[in-house]
Every structure is written in C-alpha cells, then in structure tokens.
C-alpha cells in the first residue's frame, strides 16, 4: 500500500488484491481500491466467486459484487458445491437475494 501511495503502481496486485482492497477501503484510497476490484473481477472462478461476492459487499465494491453475481448465476450448480457458498448461505443470507434479482443495489 505504501508503495502505491508513493508511486501509483501496484506490482503483483493479483497476489495481494483481497488484502489491499480492505486497506484501500479503510484509508479511502479509491484508485487503489478500483485497481484491486478490477484484479479481483479478472480472477473470478467457481472456487472463489461466493467469497468475492462477500468481499465486494463488505467493501461496497459494486463492480466486483455485480460481476460475482453474474458469474454465480451463470455457474450456479458448480458454485453451490463450494465452501464459499456455504459461508455465503450461513453468514451473508442477504446476498442470496442477488442471485434472484442481480439489479439489487449494493448497501
């Protein structure tokens, strides 16, 4: 994060995007948060889609949230078999409505 503040660059962002997203959100570094969000959207997979939806919701990352919902809707049967889906169901049930109505705004 410090490197980004001084240089505007974020090398190896794909390796640290989840943690940097939280820090960028906390310290209101919108540009870094947007870069993290973009990297996370590119990394969406069956294994991490539910977790990234939760992350997008927690940090009010609307693009990540929207892309995760779309991804989950397209790959629902596979995503529902992941541990991330179990966490989503148990701890974040309010996000389940997005699977039915993806136009629901982030809160």
Q: Which residues of 13-34 are buried (b: 16+ CB within 10 A; e: fewer)?
A: beeebbebbebbbeeebeebbe
Reply yes or no on whether the pLDDT at 32 is more than 90: yes
Q: Which residues of 49-64 are buried (b: 16+ CB within 10 A; e: fewer)?
A: bbbbbbbbbebebeeb
pLDDT in tens, 34-48: 999 999 999 999 999
pLDDT digits (tens, 9 = 90+) for 51-106: 999 999 999 999 999 999 999 999 999 999 999 999 999 999 899 887 765 454 44
CA distance 49 to 56: 10
Model-level pTM? 0.85
Residue limits of CATH 1.25.40.420 in the chain: 45-107
Of 3.30.750.24, 2.30.40.10, 1.25.40.420, 3.40.1390.10, which CATH number belongs to 45-107? 1.25.40.420
């Amino acid at each position: 994060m410090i490197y980004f503040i001084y240089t505007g660059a974020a090398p190896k962002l794909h390796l640290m995007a989840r943690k940097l997203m939280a820090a960028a959100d906390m310290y209101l570094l919108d540009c870094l948060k947007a870069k993290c969000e973009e990297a996370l959207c590119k990394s969406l997979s069956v294994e991490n889609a539910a977790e990234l939806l939760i992350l997008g919701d927690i940090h009010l990352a609307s693009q990540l949230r929207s892309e995760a919902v779309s991804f989950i809707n397209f790959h629902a049967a596979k995503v529902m078999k992941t541990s991330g889906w179990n966490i989503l169901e148990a701890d974040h049930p309010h996000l389940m409505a997005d699977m039915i109505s993806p136009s629901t705004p982030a809160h």
